[in-house]
């Protein structure tokens, strides 16, 4: 045929090394009679999974390999057409997908997970036909040998080796396994038989939820999560309000009571809602009810990243001060939250965790915050590490970006219309007068033009560029930033600025080249970074200095390029560092897990002078504590003046500047805009054009998987 499949991909502009060439080649060698076809199907699956999908649709038994390639390769590589692909892979046109089933390279398993009790999870692979509702329970050992189904808890089966066809979806086996494990965990804890527990929480205690809720509310003055309803004052969202007499009724009407009830009734519950809707408050009410019934409960709090765990504890501590639960309840609530990796003690070198199905975690209740950030693999590892009787409560916002790695686990679960999935809708932070709240609702509705109009007219939400006649994208002084909260805004004030912003909404002007646009952007970023840099180096208290990093944050849609976080950070380093890699006041983010140092991907540190030498301060595991790491020990960190929106998940900032590229990118989506906006507590500004903004809000992330279909229909109790 003249070219190998690898060479053909290279000729088409695709790099096979980026698409798991090695593992797909190994897979192909297992089936020499269909090696080319198996290799290419594996490559397509790998490519889609790198984009976040768990599976791809099965186009039908009669479809050819080239049909599959044309449908997927053209969708991801700009400039490729179906005709190009069919011509390049004409030698595979006669190979039908059904041929891969016949030779055993694709194992057909028609089914979804049925609900299994905790005792069944370790010994049974439960499969059910989603279309007919018929159920087949397959012994794990037999399934493992006959159809490639892995024995639950056997991490050695995570390696790729078999392609699975299940329910019209095509998977690499490890991702199929992840999906089944998560579905089995959810279903086994959600159906009525899961209520027959001996933990003392799912029966009489649920009758007392309203009593405990009322007591908590009376003690807290009726105030909820973050204790705020926003209003715009001097270009920022205020963070205080007087409690309303209607608050207790509002709690009943907006889901917090249902959230507590779900957590008491089921061993698995989901609480989803936007910022300030009371997720943390609901969890504390739930824990109060649980601990009143069972003071000896073993509880653990966790989140996907270190900074999300730290943010979780900040929110919990703030709510505890308002709720003031009984002392025995407060004493039982953990004072620190862990990352999931740290919790299960994941060892990447061995591909195993200390805690798994054979050695489960010793906790009665696991609370997982920022669950939308958890990918399928990590959620499956957590699921395997839970005892059958352990309760798992997921908190998150289903409208945010999904995980960086494959899967949209939380969104799939939260889309299930079930009594243990509770949606909080009332924002206690942003009321009907809040610009941030109004923009969030408009973004979620996909109304791009209306959302841009809000930015043009707003004070707390606004347009920062790219074309401005006068003014600064971040007008402030050091004295302003020292106040708490800072009196800052990114705003369109004078008529000249308004005209320039409207010009920006039509796109870049002809004389505004990329170089000029980049220069203007970096000048505006410096206007925000330099006062913060001065403030950081002037703050003697190390804990407070770390907290100051929440004052202002640049977020980017892209990582690379003139409008990406890497180049923006390099420009800020050049401006502030005097030519040195490490300098006092440099914020850094960990880009990989370091298990020896207990520094995890996403953790934020701040470089400080200590006893005449530079050290990096990271938040400690206890409240108001700091851990010091020498710069030489930190091999995988990057400057964090600018972060991608993905990397910012789990954090909140007073002021956010979102930087969009000057041309379309597939990463732009409605979810990205919403996630960036909801990182902001007071001020949100966009650097970009109206054309790009409206197109972004019309684009939604779609990650193909079968998890939502595998979840049982849970009857109300």
- 396 token code pair: 């998150």
Average pLDDT on 678-696 reads 91
Q: What is the pLDDT of residues 509-555, one digit of tens each?
A: 334 456 677 788 888 898 889 999 998 988 888 989 988 998 999 99
Confidence of residue 443 (pLDDT cuts 50, 70, 90): very high
SS (H, E, C) 566-616: HHHHHHHHHHHCCCCCCCCCCEEEECCCECCCCECCCCEEEEEEECCEEEE
Answer yes or no: same fold for 255-429 and 435-467+513-698: yes
Q: What is the pLDDT of residues 592-637, one digit of tens each?
A: 888 788 888 888 999 999 888 999 999 887 777 889 999 999 989 9
Average pLDDT on 398-425 reads 86
Confidence of residue 714 (pLDDT cuts 50, 70, 90): low
Is 692:465 a contact under the CB 8 Å cutoff? no
Task: Give 136-143 contacts, CB < 8 A, sequence gap 24+.
Answer: 136/111
Evaluate if residue 653 carries a pLDDT over 70.
yes
Alpha carbons within 13 A on the beta-carbon side of 397: 24
Average pLDDT on 368-387 reads 93
User: 320: burial class by Cβ within 10 Å (0-12, 13-18, 19+)?
Assistant: middle
What was the pLDDT predicted at 509? 38
Average pLDDT on 386-405 reads 89
What was the pLDDT predicted at 433? 76
What was the pLDDT predicted at 199? 60
Evaluate if residue 27 carries a pLDDT over 50.
yes
Residue 556, helix vs strand vs coil: strand
Dihedral class, residue 235 (left if φ above 0, else alpha if ψ from -120 to 50, else beta): left
Average pLDDT on 706-716 reads 75
Is 88:82 a contact under the CB 8 Å cutoff? no
What was the pLDDT predicted at 671? 93
What was the pLDDT predicted at 673? 94
Evaluate if residue 194 carries a pLDDT over 60.
no
Is 279:393 a contact under the CB 8 Å cutoff? no
What was the pLDDT predicted at 231? 34
Domain boundaries, the chain: 255-429, 435-467+513-698
- Terminal alpha carbon distance of the chain: 63
For residues 425 and 668, which has the higher predicted lDDT (pLDDT)? Answer: 668
Report the mean per-residue pLDDT for the chain: 75
Confidence of residue 192 (pLDDT cuts 50, 70, 90): low
Average pLDDT on 81-89 reads 79
Q: Looking at 295-299, 485-489, 646-650, which range is the least confident one? A: 485-489
What was the pLDDT predicted at 104? 86
Q: What is the DSSP string of 282-330?
A: HHHHHHHHHHHH-TT--EEEEESSHHHHHHHHHHHHHHHHHH---HHHH
Q: Looking at 188-202, 234-248, 316-330, which range is the least confident one? A: 234-248
What was the pLDDT predicted at 449? 92
What was the pLDDT predicted at 33? 82
CA 196 – CA 201 distance, rounded (Å) = 10
Is 303:266 a contact under the CB 8 Å cutoff? no
Evaluate if residue 172 carries a pLDDT over 80.
yes
Confidence of residue 73 (pLDDT cuts 50, 70, 90): confident
Average pLDDT on 86-110 reads 85
Is 334:359 a contact under the CB 8 Å cutoff? no
Evaluate if residue 240 carries a pLDDT over 90.
no
Above pLDDT 90, what percent of the chain?
26
What was the pLDDT predicted at 221? 36
For residue 282, give the nearest of 245, 249, 305, 316 by alpha carbon: 316
What was the pLDDT predicted at 85? 79
Is 103:30 a contact under the CB 8 Å cutoff? no
Evaluate if residue 252 carries a pLDDT over 60.
no
CA 363 – CA 694 distance, rounded (Å) = 46
User: 442: burial class by Cβ within 10 Å (0-12, 13-18, 19+)?
Assistant: buried
What was the pLDDT predicted at 17? 61
Is 424:278 a contact under the CB 8 Å cutoff? yes
Above pLDDT 70, what percent of the chain?
73
What was the pLDDT predicted at 505? 36
Pairing of strands 604-610, 613-619: antiparallel
Q: Which CATH class is domain 435-467+513-698?
A: alpha beta
Handedness of CA 76, 79, 83, 85 (dihedral sign): negative
CA 597 – CA 527 distance, rounded (Å) = 35
Q: What is the pLDDT of residues 310-366, one digit of tens each?
A: 888 888 888 887 778 788 888 888 888 888 998 999 888 788 889 999 999 999 999
Of the candidate CATH numbers 3.40.190.10, 3.40.50.1820, 3.40.50.800, 3.40.50.300, the domain formed by 255-429 belongs to 3.40.50.300
CA 599 – CA 605 distance, rounded (Å) = 10
Q: What is the pLDDT of residues 205-223, one digit of tens each?
A: 444 444 444 344 334 433 3
What was the pLDDT predicted at 211? 46
């Amino acid at each position: 045929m003249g070219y190998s499949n690898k060479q053909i991909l290279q000729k088409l502009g695709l790099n096979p090394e980026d698409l798991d060439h090695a593992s797909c080649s190994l897979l192909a060698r297992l089936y020499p009679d269909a090696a080319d076809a198996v290799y290419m199907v594996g490559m397509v699956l790998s490519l889609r999974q790198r984009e976040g999908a768990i599976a791809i649709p099965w186009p039908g038994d009669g479809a050819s390999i080239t049909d599959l390639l044309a449908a997927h390769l053209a969708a991801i590589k700009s400039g490729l057409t179906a005709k190009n692909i069919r011509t390049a892979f004409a030698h595979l046109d006669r190979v039908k997908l059904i041929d891969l089933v016949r030779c055993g390279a694709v194992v057909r398993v028609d089914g979804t997970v049925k609900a299994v009790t905790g005792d069944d999870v370790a010994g049974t692979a439960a499969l059910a036909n989603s279309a007919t509702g018929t159920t087949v329970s397959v012994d794990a050992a037999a399934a493992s040998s006959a159809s490639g189904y892995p024995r639950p808890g056997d991490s050695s089966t995570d390696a790729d080796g078999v392609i699975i066809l299940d329910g019209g979806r095509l998977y690499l086996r490890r991702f199929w396994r992840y999906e089944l494990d998560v579905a089995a965990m959810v279903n086994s804890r959600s159906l009525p038989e899961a209520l027959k527990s001996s933990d003392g929480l799912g029966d009489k205690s649920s009758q007392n939820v309203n009593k405990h809720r009322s007591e908590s509310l009376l003690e807290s003055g009726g105030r909820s999560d973050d204790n705020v309803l926003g209003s715009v004052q001097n270009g920022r969202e205020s963070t205080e309000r007087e409690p309303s007499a209607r608050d207790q009724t509002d709690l009943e009407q907006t889901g917090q009571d249902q959230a507590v009830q779900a957590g008491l009734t089921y061993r698995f519950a989901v609480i989803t809602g936007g910022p300030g809707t009371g997720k943390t408050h609901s969890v504390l009410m739930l824990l109060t009810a649980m601990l009143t019934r069972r003071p000896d409960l073993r509880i653990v709090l966790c989140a996907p990243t270190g900074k999300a765990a730290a943010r979780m504890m900040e929110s919990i501590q703030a709510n505890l001060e308002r709720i003031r639960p009984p002392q025995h309840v407060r004493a039982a609530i953990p004072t620190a939250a862990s990352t999931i990796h740290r919790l299960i003690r994941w060892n990447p070198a061995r591909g195993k965790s200390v805690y798994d199905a054979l050695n489960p975690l010793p906790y009665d209740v696991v609370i997982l915050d920022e669950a939308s950030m958890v990918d399928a693999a990590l959620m499956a590892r957590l699921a395997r590490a839970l005892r059958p009787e352990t309760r798992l409560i997921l908190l998150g916002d289903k409208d945010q970006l999904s995980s960086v790695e494959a899967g949209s686990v939380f969104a799939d679960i939260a889309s299930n219309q079930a009594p243990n999935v509770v949606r909080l809708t009332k924002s206690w932070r942003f009321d009907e007068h809040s610009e941030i709240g109004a923009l969030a609702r408009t973004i979620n509705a996909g109304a791009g033009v209306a959302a841009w109009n809000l930015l043009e007219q707003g004070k707390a939400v606004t347009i920062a560029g790219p074309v401005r006649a006068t003014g600064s994208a971040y007008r402030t002084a050091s004295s302003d930033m020292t106040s708490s909260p800072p009196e800052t805004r990114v705003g369109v004030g004078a008529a000249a600025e308004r005209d320039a912003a409207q010009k920006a909404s039509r796109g870049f002007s002809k004389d505004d080249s990329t170089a000029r646009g980049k220069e203007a952007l970096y000048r505006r970023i410096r206007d925000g970074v330099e006062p913060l840099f001065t403030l950081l180096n002037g703050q003697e208290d190390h804990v407070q200095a770390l907290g100051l990093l929440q004052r202002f944050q640049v977020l980017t849609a892209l990582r690379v390029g003139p409008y990406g976080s890497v180049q923006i950070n390099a420009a800020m380093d050049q401006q502030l560092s005097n030519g040195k890699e490490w300098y006092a006041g440099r914020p850094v983010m960990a880009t990989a897990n370091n298990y020896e140092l207990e520094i995890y991907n996403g953790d934020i540190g701040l470089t400080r002078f200590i006893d005449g030498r530079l050290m990096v301060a990271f938040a400690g595991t206890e409240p108001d504590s700091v851990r010091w790491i020498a710069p030489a020990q930190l091999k995988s960190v990057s400057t964090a003046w600018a972060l991608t929106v993905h990397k910012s998940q789990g954090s909140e900032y007073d002021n956010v500047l979102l930087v969009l590229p000057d041309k379309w990118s597939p990463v732009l989506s409605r979810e990205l805009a919403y996630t960036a906006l909801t990182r902001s507590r007071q001020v949100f500004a966009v650097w970009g054009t109206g054309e790009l903004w409206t197109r972004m809000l019309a684009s939604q992330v779609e990650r193909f998987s079968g998890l939502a279909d595998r979840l049982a229909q849970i009857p109300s109790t």
